[in-house]
Amino acid sequence: MIGVIASPEEEPIVREFFELFKVPWEFYTDKRKYEVVLCGDCPNPDGLNAKLVVLYSGHETASDVKPKGPVQTQGRETTLTLAGKRLPIYGDFVTFPESFTFLRESTSDKPVAWIRQTNDRVLVRVGYDLFREIRFLITNGQPQKNAAIPTLDRHIQLLRELITSSGIPLLEIPPVPAGYPFIVCLTHDLDHARLSRHKLDPPMFGFLFRATLGSVSRAARGRLSLKGLVSNWVAAAKLPFIYLGLADDIWYSFDRYVDLEKGKPSTFFVVPFEKRPGHPSKRAAPRSRATRYDVSHVAEKLPRLRAAGCEIGLHGIDAWFQASLGRAEAARISEFSKTTTSGVRMHWLFNNEKSPGIIEEAGFSYDSTVGYNETVGYHAGTSQVFKQLSARNLLELPMHVMDTALFYPAHLDLSEKDAFSEILPFLDNATYDGGVVTINWHDRSIAPERQWGNFYVRVLQELDTRAAWFCTASNAVSWFRMRRSISFDRPTCKDNELRVTLAAPGDASIPGFRLRRHQPAMLSDLFQPAGFARRRYDETFFTGSLDVPLPDSLTSQNETRN
Query: Both 151 and 190 in a single domain?
Result: no
Query: pLDDT confidence of 308, banded at 50, 70, 90?
Result: very high
Query: Both 450 and 493 in a single domain?
Result: no
Residue 84 has pLDDT above 80, yes or no: yes
Query: Both 1 and 60 in a single domain?
Result: yes
Strands (E), 284-405: 311-316, 343-346, 366-367, 395-396, 401-402
d(CA 215, CA 202): 17
98 part of a folded domain? yes
Provide the 10 A C-beta neighbour count for residue 560. 11
According to DSSP, the residues that pair with 73 across neighbouring strands are 95
151 part of a folded domain? yes
CB neighbour burial string for 473-497, b if at least 16 within 10 angstroms, e if fewer: bbbbbbbbbbbbebebeeeeeeeee
CATH code of the domain in which 369 resides: 3.20.20.370
Query: Both 492 and 441 in a single domain?
Result: no
Query: Both 459 and 527 in a single domain?
Result: no
Provide the 10 A C-beta neighbour count for residue 376. 27
Query: Both 508 and 468 in a single domain?
Result: no
6 part of a folded domain? yes
Query: pLDDT confidence of 68, banded at 50, 70, 90?
Result: low
Domain edge (last residue) among 478, 501, 525: 478
Looking at the whole model, is its pTM more than 0.75? Answer: yes
Question: Residue 288: which domain range?
Answer: 183-194+251-478
Which residues, at least 6 apart from 185, have a Cβ–Cβ distance to it below 8 Å? 266, 267, 368, 397, 436, 437, 438, 439, 471, 472, 473, 476
Report helix angle 213-220 to 226-243, nearest 10: 170
Percent of the chain residues past pLDDT 90, beyond the cut: 76
Query: pLDDT confidence of 279, banded at 50, 70, 90?
Result: confident
Query: Both 255 and 142 in a single domain?
Result: no
Average pLDDT over residues 92-102: 86
Mean pLDDT is lowest, of 25-39, 300-314, 430-444, for 25-39
421 part of a folded domain? yes
Domain edge (last residue) among 430, 453, 478: 478
d(CA 165, CA 521): 4
Mean pLDDT is lowest, of 208-217, 269-278, 512-521, for 512-521
What would the pLDDT profile of 216-264 be if each residue is shown by its tens digit?
Answer: 999 999 889 999 999 999 999 999 999 999 999 999 999 999 999 999 9
CATH code of the domain in which 148 resides: 3.40.50
84 part of a folded domain? yes
Residue 384 has pLDDT above 60, yes or no: yes
Query: Both 392 and 539 in a single domain?
Result: no
Which residues, at least 6 apart from 351, have a Cβ–Cβ distance to it below 8 Å? 320, 367, 369, 370
d(CA 205, CA 267): 29
17 part of a folded domain? yes
| Structural domains of the chain, count | 2
Domain edge (last residue) among 455, 478, 501: 478
Query: Both 548 and 418 in a single domain?
Result: no
Query: Both 460 and 340 in a single domain?
Result: yes
What would the pLDDT profile of 174-222 be if each residue is shown by its tens digit?
Answer: 999 999 999 999 999 999 999 999 999 999 999 999 999 999 999 999 8
Query: Both 500 and 418 in a single domain?
Result: no
261 part of a folded domain? yes
d(CA 514, CA 540): 6
Query: Both 473 and 491 in a single domain?
Result: no
Average pLDDT over residues 50-68: 83
204 part of a folded domain? no
d(CA 238, CA 160): 59
Beta-sheet pairing, 534-542 with 555-560: antiparallel
